[in-house]
Amino acid sequence: MPLTVKPKNPSNPLFAAEVTGVDLSQPVADNVIIEIIAFMDIYAVGVFPGQKLSDEMQVAFSKCLGPVRPSRKNLRPGYKHRIDMQLSDVSNLTPGNEIREHDDYYRLSDLGNRLWHTDSSFKATPAMYSLLSARKVPSWGGETQFADLRAAYDALPEGKKKEIEDMIAMHAIMYSREKVGFTDFMQAERDLQPPVPQLIVRTHPGSGRKTLYLAAHAGEVVGMPLPEGRILLLDLIDHATQPQFIYTHNWNVDDLVIWDDRCTMHRAREFDMNEVRDMRRATVQDVAPTIEQEKAG
């Protein structure tokens, strides 16, 4: 047992813990990978401090958890990537490492990260894990908050659990961006990213726990009038992001935080846009669309 685990929040001890005792820049043995996955099944968010990683090392470790998928930004014609092609660039920097202008297209699009979401829920097969490495952090703000959607599900009244049990929501990147008034998408991006169906309630395979599956990307509920579905989704997100379900992570350089996208939401908080925030994310794909998984389970 090389790993040392310390829960971050005593009042929700089964959500978000710090992990030490492993160097992720080196090849990690299979039995340790198994231990990390078992840890993630329990805690959903793992904070690994002091992990000095190159892009290559981050990708190599991430691949131990499953197939790594590139950023959707590559679907936009003309997009220039600053870092390893297999990582998503969650920074406010241009390809030339300059801070992006106030009204820069990608800066405005990335403001959508300040809405509660889970990564890639707008893809038919969404993300299983995200691994975010802090390379440069601003002097204030820029925290990432995580919401425990298993605990949020558990806390729903029985009537509400029954009501939403078999519901399907349509997710699209355009839905979340429309919420912040960002509608500047090229036809190619729209064509390649149509809304996809996802369950609202799913069963987490590792823990067997039921969990909500929600995101700002969710724009309608199948079979409900549009406004009614939207309000239902808003109410559920409101419920799931109450203080008792939240862990707020204040970043240090070289933190690697891994979260389970199947049972959490997260969002970034405000920071001074004249300061550099350079975060790089590897995204590990889930095994199948949520509806197929539940049927198979």
Partner 1 sequence: MALTIKALNPGFVAKVTGVSLGEPFGEEVLAEIVSAIDNYAVCIFPDQPLTDERQLSFSARLGPLETTRRVNRADFKHRLDTRVTDVSNLDENNCLVARDSDRRMIAMSNRLWHTDSSFKKTPAKYSLLSARAIPSEGGETQFADLRAAYNALTEKKKQEIDDLIVMHWLTHLRSKTGFDHFTEAERAVEPPMPQVLVRTLPGLGRKTLYLAAHADHVIGMPVPEGRMLLMDLMEHATQPEFVHTHTWRVNDLVIWDDRCTMHRVREFGITEVRDMHRTTVSDVGPTIDQARVA
Interface contacts to partner 1, rule CB under 8 A = 102-103, 108-109, 111-112, 114-115, 177-182, 219-220, 225-231, 234-235, 243, 270
Q: Are 250 and 140 in contact (CB under 8 A)?
A: no
Residue number, 23 or 228, with CB nearest to partner 1:
228
Q: How far is CA 93 from CA 105, 112, 224, in A?
A: 12, 16, 41
CB of 232 vs partner 1, minimal distance in Å: 8
Residue with smaller CB distance to partner 1, 44 or 170: 170
When the beta carbons of 104 and 254 are compared against partner 1, the nearer one is 104
Q: How far is the CB of 126 from partner 1 (least distance, A)?
A: 22
CB atoms within 10 A of CB 141: 15
Of the pair 78, 223, the CB lying nearest partner 1 is at: 223
Q: From the CB of 86, what's the least distance to partner 1, in Å?
A: 27
| CB neighbour class for 205 (10 Å; exposed up to 12, middle 13-18, buried from 19) | middle
Q: How many CB atoms lie within 10 A of CB 169?
A: 28
Rounded-to-integer distance, Cα 267 and Cα 96, Å? 26
Shortest distance, CB of residue 213 to partner 1, whole angstroms?
20
Looking at beta carbons only, is 23 or 140 nearer to partner 1? 140
End-to-end CA distance of the chain: 30
Locate tokens 């794909």: which residue? 285
Query: In this structure, what token pair is assigned to residue 262?
Result: 């199947």
